[in-house]
Amino acid sequence: MPRFAHRLLPCLVTLFLAAGLGTAALAQGTPQNWLTHLFQPPSTGPVPPANDARSWSGQSGASGNPLMTADAIRAAAADFGNCIERLWPEAARRGITRENFERFTAGLTPDLSIMDKLDAQPEFTKAPWDYLDLLVSDDRIAHGRALLAQYAATFAAMQRTYGVDPAIVAAIWGVESNYGALAGDRPVLRSTATLACVGRRRDYFREEFWSTLEILQHGDVPAEHLVGSWAGAFGPTQFMPTSFKRYAVDFDGDGRRDVVDSVPDVIASTANNLKMDGWISGASWGYEVVLPQNFDYLLADRSKQMTVRQWEALGVRRATGSSFPHHDERAYLLLPAGARGPAFLMLQNFRVIMKYNPAEAYALAIGHLADRMRGGGPLVQSWPRDERVLTVDERYELQQRLAQRGFNVGVPDGLLGPQTRLAIRSFQSSIGQIPDGFASSEVLDRLRQQ
Ligand code: CA
C-alpha cells in the first residue's frame, strides 16, 4: 500500500496535526483522494478553466529533496521520452500491447506545473472548524440528499450488496469532488507519467502509470474522460489508478468498470472500497460526546481504545442526550480542537473512512456530512473559533522550544505528531493546564515566556 501521504500533503497534514490529531493515520491507508480537495479546495464556485495558467514556476521545490531542484526537474523533463520507454517492459508484462503503448503515449509531454503542487509548502492551514464549515455546508447537505433520492434504487442495491451506509458514500462523493464538479481535468496518463519520471515520488507513481495504461487498454474509462487531479485521482469519488484496480466494480453490468460516468459504478465501487477496508455494516462512524468535569484528558488519544460501556462508566455521554445504541463497540476519544472544542468517540468505521483518505478531519467531515444528510443536527458543542492555528514556522518553533525545555519531540519537523503531542501534554501538566495535547497559540506563548 502506498504511503506517501505525509510529504505530499503538507496542507492536510498540518491541518490535522494543528488540531492535535494523530500522525499515525497519515502513515496508513490508501491516500488516494486528499489531493483534490486540498489543493483544489472544494468550493461552490465554478470549475476553473482547463488552461488556467498551468505552467511550472521554474523554481526549486521547498522540500529540499535533490530531485526537486529546478535543474533536476529540467534534466528529468529532458529525459522524459527515454523514461517513458524504460517503463515499457513492465507495461508489456502487464499485457499492454506495443501498439496501444505507442498510441497512448504518442505526443506525451510532462506537465511540469505538477512539480509546484508536489512540493507545495503552504504557509497557513485551516482550522478544523473552517474545514468542516467548508465541507459540511447547507448546499452540500441539500445536494447529497437530492442524490440519495434521485439514485435511491441504486443506493439500496449497493447497500444490499456491500452493507455500506448510502449517506457515507454520498458524503465521499460530495467531499472528494463537490459531487463531481471538481473532479479535475488533467489527463491521468499525463499526470502519472510526469510524476513517474520527474520529481521525488517516481517509485510510487510508476505503479500508478502502469495501472493507468491497464485501464486504458481495457477500456473501462474512455481516454478523454480519464482526467482528474494533478496526482491522477479521477472521477466523482477520486479513485487513484491502483485503487481503481483493487476496488472498482461493474455495477450496471455493461462490462466496464466506469467510475467516471456510470453512477451505479461510482456508488458501488466506492462502497466496495470501504467494505474491503473493513466497513462494519449497520454501525455508525462515531458519536459526538460530552465529557464530565475533571475528566482525564490523557485518555483522549488514538492509542486508548475502550468499549463504549467503559467510556460510559467514565461519565462520557452522547452530546445529543440520547443513549448509545451499542455498548460493546470499541472507540477512541478524539478532541480535534483540544479541551475547548467538541469531543467524539470514534468507531471502527471512522478508521475505515480514514483509509480512504488518511486524515481525521477528513473522516470527521464525511461522518458529520452523512449524519446531516440523514436529518441530524449540527454539532452540539461549539468550536474555539477565537483560536488561531499555528503556522508551519510556529510549529517548528513550538517543537524547538519544547525540546529546549527537555521535552522529547523527536526531530522537529513542523508536523505535530504523537510524540510532540505527548510533549505538549507534559508541558501543559507542568504549568497546571489541561493536558489535551492541543498545539494552541497559548501553549506557544507560554513556551516563549522566560
Ligand atoms: Ca459498468
| pLDDT at residue number 91 | 98
- Expressed in angstroms and rounded, the spacing between residue 34 Cα and the centre of ligand 1 is 25
- Residue bearing the bigger pLDDT, 393 or 335: 335
DSSP state of 346: E
Domain that holds residue 425: 392-449
Whether 50 maps to a domain, the answer reads no
Banded model confidence at residue 122, pLDDT cuts 50, 70, 90: low
Query: How much distance in Å is there from the Cα of 430 to the middle of ligand 1?
Result: 60
The pLDDT of 128-152, averaged and rounded, is 96
Query: How far, in Å, is the centroid of ligand 1 from the Cα of 262?
Result: 6
- The pLDDT value recorded for residue 124 is 54
Q: What span, in angstroms and rounded, lies between the C-alpha atoms of 150 and 263? A: 11
Calculate how far, in angstroms, residue 256's C-alpha sits from the geometric centre of ligand 1: 4
Taking CA atoms, 21 is separated from 72, 106, 407, in Å, by 35, 45, 19
* Assigned domain for 363 exists: yes
**Which one of 325, 343, 373 terminates a domain?**
373
- Asked whether residue 403 falls in the same domain as residue 346, the answer is no
Q: Inform me whether the pLDDT recorded for 23 exceeds 50.
A: no
**What residues contact 24, with CB distance under 8 A and at least 6 apart?**
302, 417, 418
Least confident of 42-51, 235-244, 383-392, 416-425: 42-51
254-261 average pLDDT score: 97
Question: Phi/psi class of residue 255: alpha, beta or left (left: φ > 0; alpha: ψ in -120 to 50)?
Answer: left
Residues 103-124, mean pLDDT to the nearest whole number: 87
Q: Are residues 312 and 364 in the same domain?
A: yes
Domain annotation covers residue 344 = yes
Domain membership of residue 399 (yes or no) is yes
Question: What's the confidence (pLDDT) of residue 366?
Answer: 98
Instruction: With CA atoms as reference, report the closest residue to 286 among 337, 237, 330.
Output: 330
- Does residue 362 share a domain with residue 413? no
Res 14 pLDDT > 70: no
Position 340 in a domain: yes
> Quick one: pLDDT band at residue 44, thresholds 50, 70, 90?
very low
User: E strands, 308-450, where?
Assistant: 317-318, 330-334, 343-346
- 320 has a pLDDT exceeding 80: yes
Instruction: Determine the pLDDT at residue 120.
Output: 76
392: which 3 cell numbers?
508551519
| Cβ neighbours of residue 243 closer than 8 Å, sequence gap 6 or more | 30, 32, 273
Average pLDDT, the chain: 88
- If one counts the domains in the chain, the total is 2
Tell whether 241 is covered by a domain: no
pLDDT of residue 231: 94
Whether residues 300 and 367 share a domain: the answer is yes
Least confident of 7-21, 66-80, 179-193, 241-255: 7-21
**Residue 346 belongs to some domain of the structure:** yes
60: exposed, middle or buried (C-beta count within 10 Å: 0-12, 13-18, 19+)?
middle
Among residues 373, 405, 436, the one where a domain terminates is 373
Cα torsion angle, 370, 259, 35, 354, sign: positive
Co-location of 367 and 409 in the same domain: no
Q: pLDDT band at residue 153, thresholds of 50, 70 and 90? A: very high
Q: How far is the CA of 70 from the CAs of 57, 58, 112, 206, 272, in angstroms?
A: 9, 6, 11, 21, 41
CA atoms within 13 A of residue 422's CA, in its CB half-sphere: 11
Do 297 and 330 lie in one domain? The reply is: yes
Give the contacts of 415 (CB within 8 A, at least 6 positions apart). 6, 13, 14, 17, 23, 395
pLDDT at 53: 60
Distance 257 CA to ligand 1 centre (A): 5
pLDDT at 7 over 70: no
- What is the distance between the alpha carbons of residues 286 and 306, in angstroms, rounded to a whole number? 13
* Residue 122 burial (C-beta neighbours within 10 Å; 0-12, 13-18, 19+): middle
Does the pLDDT of residue 47 top 50, yes or no?
no
Q: Name the percent of the chain lying above pLDDT 90.
A: 79
- Whether residue 331 is found in the same domain as residue 365: yes
Q: Residue 147: is its pLDDT beyond 90?
A: yes
* Per-residue burial over 137-168, b = 16 or more CB atoms within 10 Å of its CB, e = otherwise: beebbebbbebbeebeebbeebbeebebbbbb
For β-strands 227-228 and 330-334, DSSP reports them as unpaired
Whether residue 358 is found in the same domain as residue 402: no
344-395 pLDDT, tens per residue? Answer: 999 999 999 999 988 889 999 999 999 999 999 999 999 999 998 898 889 9
* 363 and 292 housed in the same domain: yes
CA distance 428 to 424: 6
Q: How far apart are CA 371 and CA 125, in angstroms?
A: 26
**Which of the four pLDDT bands, split at 50, 70 and 90, describes residue 417?**
confident
DSSP SS3 for 130: helix
Is the pLDDT score of 335 beyond 90?
yes
Distance CA 21, CA 15 (A): 9
Residues 343 and 291 in one domain: yes
Q: How far is the CA of 103 from the centre of ligand 1 (A)?
A: 24
Residue 169 alpha carbon to ligand 1 centre in Å: 18
Residue type present at position 66:
P
CA of 171 to the centre of ligand 1 (A): 22
Cα-to-centroid distance, 220 and ligand 1 (Å) = 8
CA distances from 299 to 262, 304, 335, 358, 436 (A): 45, 6, 10, 22, 9
Q: Rounded to the nearest whole angstrom, what is the distance from the C-alpha of residue 225 to the centroid of ligand 1? A: 14
Q: Which residues contact residue 298 at a Cβ distance below 8 angstroms, ignoring those fewer than 6 apart?
A: 304, 425, 435
Residue 402: pLDDT over 90: yes
Q: How far is the CA of 138 from the centre of ligand 1 (A)?
A: 32
pLDDT at 400: 95
Q: Predicted confidence band at 121 (pLDDT cuts at 50, 70, 90)?
A: low
How remote is the CA of residue 408 from the centroid of ligand 1, in Å?
53
Q: Is the pLDDT of residue 413 over 60?
A: yes
Q: Is residue 301 part of a domain?
A: yes
Last residue of a domain, one of 345, 373, 401: 373
pTM: predicted TM-score of the whole model, two decimal places: 0.86
Grid coordinates representing 71? 535543474
d(CA 221, ligand 1 centre) in Å:
9
Range scoring the smallest mean pLDDT among 62-66, 188-192, 442-446: 62-66
Tell how far the Cα of 245 is from the centroid of ligand 1, in angstroms.
14
